[in-house]
Chain A
Amino acid sequence: MMKLSSVYRFVLLLIIPLLVLVSCYKEGQLNENREMAEIRNISIRRLFDPVYYSNIDKFINDHFVYRDVLIRAKSFIDYHIFNSSVSSKVYVGKRSWLYYRNELRDSLKSDCNERENMRVLARQLNSIERILESSGKKFVFVVAPNKSTIYPEYVGLKRPDPGCGKNKYDLLLEGFNEYPVKGFIRLDDKLSQAKHEKQLYYQFDTHWNVHGAMLASITILKHLNPDSWDKYFPEFELISGQQAYDLARMMSLKFSSEEIVLKNIHYPIKYNFKSLEPVVRDKPGYEIKLDNPPHDVIRRTVMFHDSFLNVPLRFCYSSFEQLSAYWLSYLSDPKAIEELRKSEIVLIEVVERDLSDLQNDLKDFIVALSE
């Protein structure tokens, strides 16, 4: 009797997902930031094509009714019991600090094969500065450090020895010896010194937190407006609140830790906000323009940045006469270049792990500048 009931239970467990699928149950969605597999129309030819069946496999895998529950369960078990990540892109370090796997090679400082690439990047940045200065513009270059650069102690990986002891960022600094960039702002030193007073990066996110963002914004503003940067710095409150973490989301995990978040920012000068073209998916550009800009605010500026400057820029809205902010992927966009020609300051910011990609993007940018 027990065996019979076990058999029924086994078959029922196999059938339930099919029944649920037929009943049009809508499963919970996991945010994987990619297009999920779709099924192609059936045809006689496709019936004998293994690729078609492979496509069906992918469709079933992506749309299985209990997929979100199963992945969340596995992620929970892997993280809490095995200290591992369900996503191959996330690394679980010491004390459960999460890191983006792409940046780990930088933390090991054995990237000597990138020496020539970083030298080329330094040369490109030097060229950009000279081209811009020849037309009376100022160039600023900022590298947002990887989390593993500021907090290597939680990575927990042994550095290869002998390695060359340098990563891409170190090699770029070497490159600046040969091709100097006057407008280069070092953030890594400032953050490394300040981390002993306050935590500057999120434990479960790739980005700096409010403290780290504020320090970055102050450093940039001091560079651009050393005499009056604090005059136009906003007042704000820091309160405890919930934070969405990108690495935790990639692991389909929710953490209930309280974070310090920005609230009630009061800018000393009124500004107008306008969305800019191009707007593609979730990467809008925008323009901040002061109503009656005082003489000692920072002149008209165009910025090309990634997600690291999202929070720091919120401290800067009343510091610029006019600020046009574009995503880094629009470096060579005609509209952005047109705005650049009208601006007096050009700022490019990139996160440390993407330095190699920037070198590729700057080729077209330099061509556009030279035209």
Chain B
Amino acid sequence: MVFSSLIFLFLFLPAVIVVYYLTARRYRNTVLLLFSYLFYIWGSGWFLFLFIFSTLVDYVLALLIDYYSREKRQWWLTISIIFNLSLLFYFKYANFFISEFNRTLSLGGLKSIEWTDVILPIGISFFTFHKITYVVDIYRGTRKAFFSLIDFALYLAFFPQLIAGPIIRFHEISEQFKNRRETVKMFYQGSLRFCWGLTKKVLLANSCGEIADTVFALNVNVLDTPVAWLGAFAYTLQIYFDFSAYSDMAIGLGNMFGFVLPENFNRPYSAVSITDFWRRWHITLSNFFRDYLYIPLGGSRVSANRTYINLMIIFVLCGVWHGANWTFLIWGLYHGGLLIFERLTRLRSTNIDSSSLLIVRRFVTLLLVLSGWVFFRSESLVQATAFIKTMFMPVLMPMPLEVSLILNGHNIFFMFIAALVVFLPRDFSGAALILREKNLTLAFSQAVALLIVVFYSVASIASGSYNPFIYFQF
């Protein structure tokens, strides 16, 4: 089930809101948990049992960590991390490693290993990280373990952040399971934020996505430089609006139930360096890696060479966390390498006085990020390198029919609107603009405008299933 679907908008969401607010406060976490499990089973089926089993394991392990002295706590922590990472590794990477191993065997003329592909449970990358933050925070003594299984299960399964984050560190949210208060203001802001995210996803992300998907589906033999840049730029916009819209919707949904979820994006395409970019892009992921891996490895408090190694470890893991493909590894290495380069050349600083230098830095950073996205989006290294080569070694060819057709008025208009994000000021926030207190006239105008775009967004969702066939007249 996705947020931008009719069944979520007009069945699941109203049902969970009504049942939640009609339920006595002490049972509201249970209500949210049951609906979250329903949300999960919708796309995962039997994997719900795996999810519940792993929840129970960590529930027990965390209580043990909390109970025991320092030496023994470390054992339970280690067991938990190994258990969780083993599950993640098996479901996410086993297929990839077996297929690469078999490819190596066949190159050597040897028989391949027989293997039935493992299905990836939805959200495993996210809830694994949530469990790691939970047990580590308990181990560090930052927070006590939940005695309530319901509360812990809800922390992992809470449907707004279950499938695609934000990655909520346990200490950021633990108090809210017992002490949150739902207010009209929070619900109002949450509904606005949700609608804002919905329109970003349906109108901006999907339009850019149609263009990007069309270009990336082309045979590289018919790809020329302008079309390659078009595809790369369209994907750059698509991934931002898709992901940030999902975060907006997740944060908005959290607000509706009294939760305050952390922000995940802060105008990443306004960054003036790759370092700055990673402070603005998928912020919760960066925070996770910083708090639970980078700092334990020594962070920046060790020697320069050791810091560079730490950075590279983080970004290799960050890359492969996104998917089991060489392209993600290269993407991670690429960003890790750029970060190291910025440290070596002292280009990390965001204090830039000259406006022309600011423009240049923003442009160069965007170019570097865009190039990285080509690897992220490509199906294979072969495709990625051919794409990059076409982008930077000019070649002109006729525009393929598929691209001509996808560049219709609708997609061009919304891609243009999406592209404005590149040019807006660094501290501009669309969500903040929507949520800011206004006078009655402005608030009314905003409400009308939002209603129109939300209506059009819902109409777009409904049209997604529209599939007429030509018929013959009599």
> CB within 8 Å of B: which residues of A?
2-4, 6-7, 10-11, 14-15, 17-18, 30-34, 47-50, 53, 56-58, 60-62, 64, 66-67, 70-71, 73-75, 77-78, 81-87, 89, 91-92, 100-101, 104-105, 108, 157-163, 205-207, 244, 246-247, 249-250, 252, 282-283, 306-307, 310
Please give me the residue from chain B that is nearest to A251 by CB atom: B468
Q: Once the chains are docked, how many angstroms separate the CA of A10 from the CA of B474? A: 47
A28-B196 Cα distance, complex, nearest whole Å: 30
**Does the CB pair A100–B470 fall under 8 Å?**
yes
B184 touches A34 (CB 8 A): no
Please name all residues of chain B whose beta carbon is closer than 8 Å to the beta carbon of A207 when the two chains form the complex. 473
Q: Are A282 and B472 in contact (CB under 8 A)?
A: yes
Show 8 residue pairs from A and B whose CB-CB distance is below 8 angstroms, ordered by the A residue.
A14-B14, A62-B465, A77-B456, A92-B409, A158-B399, A205-B473, A250-B468, A252-B466
Nearest-neighbour CB distance to chain A for B3, whole angstroms, equals 13
Which of A32, A64, A108 gathers most chain B CB within 10 Å?
A64
How far apart are the CA atoms of A7 and B293 in the complex, in Å? 42
Q: Are A163 and B7 in contact (CB-based, < 8 A)?
A: no
Q: Is the CB of B14 within 8 A of A246?
A: no
Are A82 and B408 in touch, CB under 8 angstroms? yes
Inter-chain CA distance A360–B324, complex, in Å, is: 42
* A50 and B43 contact, CB distance less than 8 A: yes
- Are A7 and B42 in contact (CB-based, < 8 A)? no
Residues of B425-444 contacting chain A, CB below 8 A:
440, 443
| Stretch binding the partner chain, chosen from B185-193, B265-273, B351-359, B375-383 | B185-193
The minimal Cβ–Cβ distance linking A167 to chain B, given in whole angstroms, is 12
B109 / chain A contacts, CB cutoff of 8 Å: none
Identify the interface centre among A48, A101, A104, A249: most chain B CB within 10 Å of its CB: A48
Chain A neighbourhood of B462, CB < 8 A: 61, 64, 66-67, 70-71, 74
Residues of B within 8 A of A157 (CB): 401, 404-405
Are B470 and A250 in contact (CB-based, < 8 A)?
yes
For residue B386, CB closer than 8 A to chain A, the reply is no
* A57-B473 contact, Cβ under 8 Å, with A14-B13, A83-B409, A158-B404: no
Which chain A residues lie closer than 8 Å to B10 at the CB level? 14, 17-18, 64
| B187 partner residues in chain A, CB cutoff 8 A | 7
* Given A3-B184, A33-B469, A61-B43 contact (CB < 8 Å): no
**Closest residue of B by beta carbon distance from A91:** B405
B467 CB, nearest partner CB in chain A, Å: 6
Question: A104 near B6 (CB under 8 angstroms)?
Answer: no
Q: Are A108 and B41 in contact (CB under 8 A)?
A: no
Extra contacts besides A67-B462, A86-B466, A87-B468 (9): CB < 8 Å: A4-B188, A15-B18, A18-B14, A30-B468, A48-B48, A56-B7, A70-B462, A160-B399, A252-B466
Asked if A50 and B474 make an inter-chain contact with CB atoms under 8 angstroms apart, the answer reads no
- Complex CA–CA separation, A48 to B411 (angstroms): 38
Residues from chain A with a CB closer than 8 A to the CB of B400 are 160
Whether B408 and A101, one on each chain, are in contact in the complex, defined by CB atoms closer than 8 angstroms, is no
Which residues of B sit under 8 angstroms from A73, Cβ to Cβ?
455-456, 459
B464 at the interface (CB under 8 A from A): yes
B472–A310 CB distance below 8 A: yes
Query: Is B460 located at the chain interface by the 8 A CB criterion?
Result: yes
When C-beta atoms are compared, the residue in chain B nearest to A100 turns out to be: B470
Q: Is B296 an interface residue (CB 8 A)?
A: no
* Cα of A32 to Cα of B10 in the assembled complex, Å: 23
Q: When A and B form their complex, which 8 residue pairs have the shortest distance between CB atoms, in order from nearest?
A: A307-B472, A160-B398, A61-B465, A82-B409, A74-B459, A70-B462, A82-B410, A84-B410
Which of A14, A47, A108, A310 contacts B473, CB < 8 Å? Answer: A310
- What residue in chain B is nearest A64 (Cβ atoms)? B6
Q: Answer whether residue B95 sits at the interface, using C-beta atoms and an 8 A cutoff.
A: no
**For residue A282, which residues in chain B have a CB less than 8 angstroms away from its CB?**
471-472, 474
Q: A104-B401, A282-B472 are in contact. Are A48 and B14 (CB under 8 A)?
A: no
- What residues of B have a CB within 8 angstroms of the CB of A86 in the complex? 463, 466
A41 to chain B, nearest CB (A): 17
Chain B residues near A247: list those with CB within 8 A. 470
Q: Is the CB of A60 within 8 A of B443?
A: no
Residues of B within 8 A of A306 (CB): 472
Instruction: Report whether B6 and A60 are in contact in the complex, using a CB–CB cutoff of 8 Å.
Output: yes
A217 to chain B, nearest CB (A): 16
Contacts A50-B44, A77-B456, A82-B410 given; indicate if A34 touches B405 (C-beta within 8 A): no
Contact: B463 with A15, CB < 8 Å?
Answer: no
Flag whether B218 is at the interface (Cβ < 8 A): no
Whether the Cβ atoms of B474 and A49 lie closer than 8 Å is no
Task: Tell yes or no: B447 within 8 A of A by CB.
Answer: yes
Cα A74 to Cα B44 in complex, Å, equals 32
B11 within 8 A of partner (CB): yes
Interface residues of B in 152-211 (CB under 8 A from A): 184-185, 187-188, 191
Contact call B17/A74, Cβ cutoff below 8 A: no
Residues of chain B lying within 8 A (CB to CB) of residue A50: 42-45
Q: With the chains together, A73 CA to B460 CA distance in Å?
A: 10
User: CB-nearest residue of chain B relative to A250?
Assistant: B468
Q: A122 vs B361: C-alpha distance in the bound complex, in angstroms?
A: 62
Are A7 and B463 closer than 8 Å at their CB atoms? no
Tell me, in angstroms, the Cα distance from A83 to B464 when the chains sit together. 18
**Residues of chain A with a CB closer than 8 A to B467's CB:** 32, 34, 87
> In the bound complex, how far is the Cα of B472 from the Cα of A307, in angstroms?
5
Q: Determine the chain A residues whose CB is within 8 A of the CB of B45 once the complex forms.
A: 48-50, 53
B9 CB-CB contact with A under 8 Å: yes
Query: Which residues of chain A are near B471, meaning CB under 8 Å?
Result: 31, 33, 246, 249, 282
Given contact pairs A74-B463, A160-B399, A283 touches B468 in the complex (Cβ within 8 A): no
Q: Which residues of A contact B474 (CB under 8 A)?
A: 282, 310
Residues of A with C-beta under 8 A to B15 = 18
B187's nearest neighbour on chain A, judged by CB, is A7
B residues less than 8 Å from A3 (CB atoms): 184-185, 188
Of B5, B469, B473, the residue contacting A32 (CB under 8 A) is B469
Question: Out of A7, A77, A87, A307, which one reaches B466, CB within 8 Å?
Answer: A87
Residues A307 and B473 in contact, CB atoms below 8 Å apart: yes
Q: How far is the CA of A24 from the CA of B86 in the complex (A)?
A: 50
In the bound assembly, the distance between CA atoms of A345 and B36 in angstroms comes to 69
Give Cα distance in the complex from A246 to B443, angstroms.
44
B85 at the interface (CB under 8 A from A): no
Please report the C-alpha to C-alpha distance between residue A158 and residue B459 in the assembled complex, in whole angstroms.
31
Tell me if B423 counts as interface (CB < 8 A to partner A). Answer: no
Indicate if B68 sits at the interface (CB-CB under 8 A). Answer: no
Q: Which residues 387-413 of B sit at the A interface, judged by CB distance below 8 A?
A: 398-401, 404-405, 408-411, 413
* B398 adjacent to A6 (CB under 8 Å): no
Which B residues touch A283, using CB under 8 A? 472
A249 to B470, CA, bound (A): 9
B1 lies within 8 A of chain A by Cβ: yes
Which residues of chain A are within 8 angstroms of B466 by Cβ–Cβ distance?
30, 32, 71, 86-87, 252
